[in-house]
Amino acid sequence: MNPQSIMDLASPDVRDLIARSGVAVIPIGSTEQHGPHLPSGTDTMIAELIGESIATKLDALYVPFGPYGVTPIHAGHPGTISLRRSTFEALLTDILEELTALGVKTFVLVNWHEGNIPSMDAVAYSTQGRLGINIVAAQACYVAQRIYKEFGGELTHGGGIETLGVMAYDPELVLADRVTVPTRPKGAEELDEMRRSKEVYGFVTDVTELANDGWYGNPHWAKSTDAPTFADVVADEVIVRVQAAREARKVAQSR
Residue range of the domain that includes 222: 4-253
CATH of the domain at 184: 3.40.50.10310
Looking at the structure of the chain, the number of domains it has is 1
Question: 38 - beta bridge partners?
Answer: 34
Residue 254: half-sphere exposure toward Cβ, Cα within 13 Å = 6
Q: Tens place of pLDDT for every residue, the chain, 255 residues?
A: 689 999 999 999 999 999 999 999 999 999 999 999 999 999 999 999 999 999 999 999 999 999 999 999 999 999 999 999 999 999 999 999 999 999 999 999 999 999 999 999 999 999 999 999 999 999 999 999 999 999 999 999 999 999 999 999 999 999 999 998 889 899 999 999 999 999 999 999 999 999 999 999 999 999 999 999 999 999 999 999 999 998 898 888 877
- Nearest one of 104, 35, 28 to 65, comparing CA atoms: 28
